[in-house]
Amino acid sequence: MKHIRLAGLCGVALTLLLGAPNTARATVTYQMGASTEIPAAQGKVRLHQTKNGNTEIKLAVKHLAPPGRIVPGSDLFVVWVRGLAPGSAAQNLGALKVDKRLNGKLATTTPLTSFDLFITCEQSPLATIPASPELMPVHYDKQ
């Protein structure tokens, strides 16, 4: 009788460990916010919590305008994240790869789990402080 109970408890424990869905690693998709500077632009961002606690970001934007039309002197778009804590600095995630049709993509990862994401027009992919305006904002709060 004790052997059957123990086997049953082990089976339940394994089911809970292996078969339970992991909601902490769910993927969510957000529509990117509208921006008056590029009213035709549309975008989506897919966010996925990885096994090690990072957030995987897959961003796709279409119908962009050339960056120099939005901010004179700009050559490219840069994607940024900023933590939600007061005073958090924005972090450059990289330049948006834009094709001839003005569609752009970026796939990257951040250690942040809650943040604001946005795009700016920049002169360099190595910008350390975002230029204004912040375009197509997304607010993500994992809580």
**pLDDT per position as a tens digit, 52-94:** 999 999 999 999 999 999 999 999 999 999 999 999 999 999 9
Element (H, E) at 5: helix 2-14
pLDDT, position 24 = 52
Q: What percent of the chain has pLDDT over 70?
A: 83
**Greater model confidence, 24 or 107:** 107
pLDDT, position 128 = 97
Q: What percent of the chain has pLDDT over 90?
A: 78
Give pTM, 2 decimals.
0.81
**E strand spans, the chain:** 27-31, 42-49, 55-62, 76-83, 90-95, 97-98, 104-110, 114-122, 135-141
- Reference 66, options 40, 31, 33, 44; nearest CA is 40
- Is the model's pLDDT at 19 over the cut of 80? no
Sign of CA dihedral 123, 73, 103, 111: positive
Joined tokens for residue 51? 């096994």
| Residue 17: band (very low, low, confident or very high) from pLDDT cuts 50, 70, 90 | very low
pLDDT, position 142 = 84
Contact 47, 55 (CB under 8 A): yes
| Residue 25: band (very low, low, confident or very high) from pLDDT cuts 50, 70, 90 | low
Q: How far is 134 from 80, CA to CA, in rounded Å? A: 9
- Is the model's pLDDT at 117 over the cut of 50? yes
Q: Give CA angle at 48 (42, 54), nearest 5°.
A: 120
